[in-house]
Amino acid sequence: MAKPRLAWDLFVAVLTPVVVVALAFLGYRQLGIDAYETAKAEWLARGEPSHISDLALPPLLPDQSYFCQNPLLQAQLRFRSLAGGAPGQALYEDEGQQRILGNMDFPELLLQSFGRINPPTRTDFAAIATTYSLPEPSIAPVAKISRLLSANDAIFRSLIESARLPAGHFGMIWDVTDLADAPTPHYFVWTKLTKLCTLRARVALAQRESRSAFEELTVPFRLTETLEADPVILASMIRLTMQMMTIPPIWEGLESRSWASTELLALEQELAKWKPIEDQIRCYRGDCALGLNLPDRRITEEEWAIRESMTGPIPRWPFQIPGVAYFNAANYFRASYRACYLPLLSHDWKSVSRERLYIDGIPEYDLHSILHRKELPIFLLVTERCVTLAIHVILARTAIALERYHLDRGSYPSDLAALVPDYLSTLPTDLMDGAPLRYIPIENGRFKVYSIGWDFRDQKGKIKDQRTGRLADQVWTYDLAGGDEPQPGLAP
């Protein structure tokens, strides 16, 4: 009897901790599921979408013509994902017309050097001339750049003609379950097109051809409109970038007083269509809907690579533990709602800054907060850029109204109230504190119009905080004196 008893005791001794661990894992997994289901129920109870396809727009009417139906643009959408390929790679159905826009013959170094100049001023062409050892005087770089750009004139003429039509949308199929399957490789072609169009517009302004400059800008205006249909944060990030690139040529034309009255009115009407905060809310809702099924599936290698390309390394081993994915999803939903969604709805921008400090305090290996510790800072940054762009749109529209007032009356008003109702429907508001935009006429006959910055302090139109060296107020001005660099609607 002793040996069987000993064997049984040994069996129980081995099995008991295994059973205890198994039950603990199952219990932990169930706790995670409960937390996730509660967060999911809270999300759906607010009337939010359960799937990203719920936010997709209906197909276009077949009996109408749209900008997005331009063959050059449509060709970029005829791709399929490369099985096992790197994130973002796509295999085009043929290598003919589909690659025209992506492979345009244009000196990429010139494009990159121009994109790095921030903010744009009339000295930009001299900087480009230095890059290419082009001769002075400054008109030589403009002529040289114009000749380089002319190689693609036929392409841009086709796009400009199509840009006279309503924008439409590209009818993407958002029946996807993970980030890697989102049909987005064409986004980077649209970004390149915007860079090229804004560069062409700036060259046209330097040559005093404001009509040509305006026509070039119609292409990025339409491109950004078409992306408003895509309900994912990546689309929002691309659109914000494209819109940021479109504002500097508008500033340059205002600074040099190149725009005609009809062009100013048309620019104001185009900018009035931009609703960065509303678009961001929609994209945020789409991304949350895309993530609703995160715990119920295995995250693919492609999706891990996409996430890590944006956030840096993410520890993967914790997600092999039952329950970790569920707790992460629950905490991510709640933190995202508190940190990004509610501030966008309520314009509580101070909470965005506070949330960044909170995230910095989360321990590196808090297993329940891996995703929102890594990914939420990206959302917060996009939220900041979205708010900044919304402010710059208000500044640009106000500056256009001031210029139209000046063209009609020969001087600028003493205060912004004089613009209402003939040039603006309402007095422009500073999104940062809800007060009217600050406006300061200056001695050289121009002005400063500005919003307080992310320090939430009115520094009287100072672009840089002399104490910290950081950006202070968000200023639209043409006054280059006094050591401050102009900040025409762009923030790093």
Report the 10 Å Cβ neighbour count for 120: 24
3-state SS assignment for residue 92: strand
Helices (H), 46-138: 71-76, 108-116, 124-131
Which phi and psi (to 5°) does residue 363 adopt? -55, 150
Q: How far apart are CA 43 and CA 289, in angstroms?
A: 9
Report the 10 Å Cβ neighbour count for 385: 20
Radius of gyration of the chain (CA): 27
Task: Give me 451's structure tokens.
Answer: 């919003």
Q: How confident is the model at residue 299 (pLDDT cuts 50, 70, 90)?
A: low
pLDDT above 60 (res 194): yes
3-state SS assignment for residue 108: helix
348-384 pLDDT, tens digit per residue, is: 888 887 887 777 777 766 888 887 788 788 888 889 8
Cα-to-chain-centroid distance, residue 408 = 36
Q: How far apart are CA 452 and CA 456, in angstroms?
A: 6
Q: The tokens 């017309």 sit on which residue?
A: 97
pLDDT score recorded for residue 258 = 93
- DSSP codes joined into one string, 175-197: --SSGGGS--TTHHHHHHHHHHH
Report the 10 Å Cβ neighbour count for 364: 8
Q: In 3D, which of 472, 434, 438, 429 has the Cα closest to residue 453?
A: 472
Most confidently modeled range among 77-91, 144-158, 403-417, 442-456: 403-417
Check if the beta carbon of residue 390 is closer than 8 Å to that of residue 348. Answer: no
Q: How far apart are CA 278 and CA 385, in angstroms?
A: 13
3-state SS assignment for residue 81: strand
E strand or H helix at 90: strand 90-92
Q: How far apart are CA 287 and CA 163, in angstroms?
A: 29
95-149 pLDDT, tens digit per residue, is: 444 444 444 444 443 444 333 333 334 444 444 333 333 333 344 456 666 776 7
Check if the beta carbon of residue 472 is closer than 8 Å to that of residue 463. Answer: yes
Q: How far apart are CA 228 and CA 273, in angstroms?
A: 11
Residues 6 or more apart from 218 whose CB is under 8 A from it? 160, 163, 164, 270
3-state SS assignment for residue 117: coil
**Cα separation values, 305 from 200, 314, 324, Å:** 35, 10, 20
pLDDT above 90 (res 490): no
**Cα separation values, 288 from 147, 164, 302, 343, Å:** 47, 35, 19, 16
pLDDT above 50 (res 177): yes
Burial-class residue 51 by CB neighbours within 10 Å (0-12, 13-18, 19+). Answer: middle
Helices (H), 92-232: 108-116, 124-131, 139-149, 153-162, 187-206, 210-227
Check if the beta carbon of residue 236 is closer than 8 Å to that of residue 248. Answer: no
> Pick the residue with more confidence: 420 or 443?
420
Average pLDDT of span 180-203: 76
Report the 10 Å Cβ neighbour count for 119: 17
Average pLDDT of span 16-45: 84
pLDDT score recorded for residue 296 = 63
pLDDT score recorded for residue 108 = 43
Check if the beta carbon of residue 431 is closer than 8 Å to that of residue 390. Answer: yes
pLDDT above 80 (res 162): yes
